[in-house]
A and B are shown apart, each in its own frame.
Chain A
Amino acid sequence: MEAAQILKPESSPKIPDFGAGDTVRVNFRIREGDRERIQAFQGVVIRRQNGSGPSANFTVRRVAGGGVGVERIFPLYSPLIDSLEVTRRGAVRRAKLYYLRGLQGRAARIKEKTLPRRPRGQAAGS
């Protein structure tokens, strides 16, 4: 029996397809005493790590007030992720966007990805 196959997480509907460069909003469940609330963390995904297994995780970077960069690492299949929305698709040319850490303001912008043009003769989808 292969180790990698055993704990293959089912693709969950609450996690859409996303990748580095995308701007996402992670709705994360937070416990405060015995009260639970949802905290959103919005920023650019600067990397996805460890493939598709249960260890998969991703890092979201956001520049908080005062120009302080905040990065949070979320386990992709954490039960504490209530939902995840992709708010913007980014067009980037590498998988790990560590270079963003050294950039500020206008330089740290990411171009928005335009949908690839469909080949001729094929009906355009929704």
Chain B
Amino acid sequence: MLRGFLGKKVGMSRVFREDGRVVPVTMIQAGPCSITQIKTNDTDGYEAVQLGFDPVKKLNRPKAGHFKGNPLTRYLREVKADDVSEFTLGQQIKVDIFEPGEMVDVIGKSKGRGFAGVMKRHGFGGGPRTHGQSDRARAPGSIGGGTTPGKVFKGLKMAGHMGNARITVKNLEVVQVDPERNLIFLKGGVPGAPNGLLLIRRTGKTASRGN
């Protein structure tokens, strides 16, 4: 069984459950993925499967050579598999490996926020807006003591670059799978902008019902 799968964020919507409850969902265009390389203990020292996703017409020669005649794809990512011997090179895999009710983790690249201040980046409260304050509304406040300790501690939350980082969101429920349109609907949000590459990782857990 494949431990992970690739997809692209499409956007968010909502879905009704039978009892009328609304579930917020992220729609992900997932797969079809092709197997582009199989790593085995003999050749690589570990077992894994490399997936190709998002077909393209042309790639430069060195990249195209890697596909050994199989359809070219924009993205290549390696995922674990329980038993690599069940896969063959060039094999196509679709979203139907997922089932509604299953829990998955999603890994993606968050939206870049540039150099962000401390309120946006760490959720600080900022300073008072009134009572004669002039430039303290978004300031971080004190960053530490004086002569003792005589330094600013490492890891202190300050302004800086935010976003554009690899983010994992854990335990999202698979709400619907549509193999015909290569779509998967997950409950909740997912990192990154629409069209961003996502890795959907299986957890082996199933959603507990009744919430």
* Residues of chain A at the chain B interface (Cβ within 8 Å): 1-4, 6-7, 29, 31, 53-55, 75, 77-80
Contacts and interface: CB of A to CB of B under 8 A. Distances in A.
A3 B20 contact: no
Contacts of B140: none
B84 to A, nearest CB: 31
A75 B15 contact: no
A109 B14 CA distance: 36
Interface of B is mostly: strand
Interface of A is mostly: loop
A36 to B, nearest CB: 10
B19 A31 contact: yes
Nearest to A30: B20
A3 B27 contact: yes
B2 interface: no
Given A1-B10, A1-B29, A7 B20 contact: no
B16 A79 contact: yes
Nearest to A3: B11
A75 B181 CA distance: 26
Contacts of A6: 10-11, 13, 27, 181, 183
Contacts of A31: 19
A55 B16 CA distance: 10
B16 A3 contact: no
A79 B14 CA distance: 13
